[in-house]
Amino acid sequence: MEVKILSAKFDIKDAHKIKVAKKHGAYSTLDKLFSMPPEDVIELVKESGLRGRGGAGFPSGVKWSFLPKDTGKPVYLAVNSDESEPATFKDRYILVKDPHMMIEGIIICSYAIGSHDTYIYIRGEYTTQVKALQAAIDEAYAAGYLGDKVGGHDYTVNVTVHRGAGAYVCGEETALLESIEGKKGQPRSKPPFPAVAGLYGCPTIINNVQSIASLPFILENGAEAYKAYGTEKSAGTHLFGISGHVEKPGMYELPLGLPLLEVIDKVAGGVWKGRKLKGVIPGGSSTPVLLPEEAKTVTLDYESMAAHKTMFGSGGIVVLDETVDIVQLVKNLIDFYHHESCGQCTPCREGLGWMLKIIKKILSGDGTMVDLNLLRELCDNIELKTVCVLSAACTMPVRSYLDKFRHEFEAYVANNDSSAAEAK
């Protein structure tokens, strides 16, 4: 089931070093790249069906085509290496094992969108990864693949690594830009969209590490070769992360479209310790949970996930066994989102804190049915009223747990007298 497109060089010794990487094809697409008009590169990426691998799944080529032409302002590329969505752990493999693939992707994207300056936003916690990344960038400069005259061609690409310092919200594209500009990572209202007014008010494209790293393959082998993997609307491969209660947790590159439960069993060894499956989180903590019954018909692509009222997300699959206390799990999640809220807008700032206090109250045994219903109602009251979707990243999954595992929550409040007086 596993494939080696993005991870082709991951098991090759020293593939992160430019000498070895080049032997295996790194930077070999540059001559072809610079012989094409930039618009053709954009068309190629559109054709390939590559969708943003950070979690939103927006078609990358289409995003690039939103850039306004001839504004007189510099165009920036920002590479999102924040990777803070719980259950997501894929991009760092690229940074450590095959960084030159990403740098090559940066060159491809920069040329296509007319950008000469790239900022790689990397989360602060990735200490070893940032060292590896910077070493690769230094090698690329020394070998003439970055700087003026990239690969001997008349084009400049400069790359600067910008370290974050512990904020999940900076994975949101406009918060990421704010952070590069030296401010708190507080998302901006859209419109204007970053393609029009992004970094320093200039047209900006923000792409996930994996999306960028997918570009050399597409350029080398063409759109059809990329579409050969995956489904019609969800083309290509993805670095899936499987974690939680499985025998063989880890990162696995798979084509999109495979059946979820089959992947869990065949690739990750199935639920661990011989236990029963209770639920599956399909694409990172922000995605609604799937019950085993529901998971039976799910395939790992954007369409199937949407049809099952959840999301493909970042492809971070978390398996829950029968021993999981869902109420504790929900508290763990709300705690995370509350901690990571940027604090800018009222519903998220005040609402997530309220939700956390309510679920703690429920867990302590003092909760009532009124509290439980309020927790459920807050999911609706907060969602979509905020500047960004961090609030929805909390309320969407929490709602799914409250609805699909209601009995577990009710068990916590059942012993309180107030539940008898409960009106709703």
Partner 1 sequence: MSDRSQLISTGTPFQFDKERDAEFERLIKRYPTRESMILPALWLIQEQEGWISQEAMAYAADRIGTFASKVYEAATFYTMYNLHPMGKNHICICRTLSCWLRGKQEIVDYLNNEIGIKPGEISEDGKYSLEEVECLGHCGTAPVVQVNGEFHENMDVDKLKSLLATLK
Partner 2 sequence: MADKIKLFVNGVEVEVESGKNLIDAIGAVGIEIPHLCYHPALGADGNCRMCLVGIEDGRPPLVPACKTPAQEGLKVLLDAEHIKKIQHDVMEFELINHPIDCPVCDQAGECKLQDYYMSYDQVDSRMTVPQVTKGKKMDFGAGVVHDQERCVVCGRCVRFCRQITKTGELGIINRTDDARVNIFPGRPLNNRYALNVVDLCPVGAMTSKDFRFKQRVWFLKKAPGICHGCAKGCNITIEHNREKYKDDVIYRFRPRKNDQVNGYFICDAGRLSYKAENEGRLTEARLSNKAIPVDEILTAASKEIERAEKTAVIVSPNCSLEQMIAVKALAEKLGASLSGFSDGYIKSGDGDDFLIQDDKAANRTGLTLLGIDSSKQGFEAAVQGAKLLINFDNDLGLSYEEGALKKLLQGIKIIAITSHDTDCVKMAEMAIPVASYSEYAGSVINCDNILQTFGKAVTKNNDLADICAIAAGLGSPLASPEERFSALQECIGALKDLEPDQIPAKGLKLNDSEAANVTV
Binding positions for partner 2, rule: CB under 8 A? 167, 169, 184, 189, 338-347, 349-354, 357-358, 360-361, 371, 374, 381, 384-387
Q: Which is nearer to partner 1, 248 or 309 (CB)?
A: 248
* Alpha helix positions (H), 149-195: 173-180
Interacting residues of 348 by C-beta distance below 8 A, sequence separation 6+? 341, 342, 382, 386, 390, 391
* Residues 191-230 as x/- pattern, contact with partner 1 by CB under 8 A: ---------x------------------------------
Binds 253, which of partner 1, partner 2, none (CB < 5 to 8 A, cut-off by type)?
Answer: none
Cis before residue 292, ω within 30 degrees of 0? no
Pair 257, 302: CB distance under 8 Å: no
Residue 123 near which of partner 2, partner 1, none (CB within 5-8 Å, type-dependent): partner 1
Tell me which residues in 121-150 interact with partner 1 (CB under 8 A). 123-128
Establish whether the linkage from the previous residue to 192 is cis, with ω within 30° of 0: yes
Indicate which of partner 2, partner 1, none lies near residue 133 (CB less than 5 to 8 Å, by partner kind): none
Which of these ranges, 35-43, 86-94, 204-212, 213-221, lies near partner 1 under the rule CB under 8 A?
A: 86-94
Q: How far is the CB of 174 from partner 2 (least distance, A)?
A: 12
Piece of 143-151, 174-182, 209-217, 400-408 that binds partner 1 (CB under 8 A): 174-182
Q: Over the range 45-66, which residues count as b (16 or more CB within 10 Å of their CB) and which as e?
A: bbbbbbbbbbbbbebbbebbbe
Query: Least distance to partner 1 from the beta carbon of 63, Å?
Result: 23
Burial of 41 by CB count in 10 Å (0-12 exposed, 13-18 middle, 19+ buried)? buried
Nearer of residues 227 and 360 to partner 2, judged by Cβ: 360
Phi, psi for 261 (deg, rounded to 5): -65, -35
Give the SS3 label for residue 311.
coil
CB under 8 A: which stretch of 57-65, 244-252, 288-296, 374-382 binds partner 1? Answer: 244-252
CA distance 265 to 372: 35
Give the number of other Cβ atoms within 10 Å of residue 20's Cβ. 15
Residues 278, 329: contact at Cβ < 8 Å?
no
| Encoded tokens for 275 | 């236990």
Which does residue 373 touch among partner 2, partner 1, none (CB within 5 to 8 A, set by kind)? none
Q: Which residues bind partner 1 (CB under 8 A)?
A: 83-89, 91-92, 123-128, 158, 160, 162-168, 179-185, 200, 241-245, 249-251, 281, 285, 316, 318, 320, 324, 329, 332-333, 336, 339-340, 342
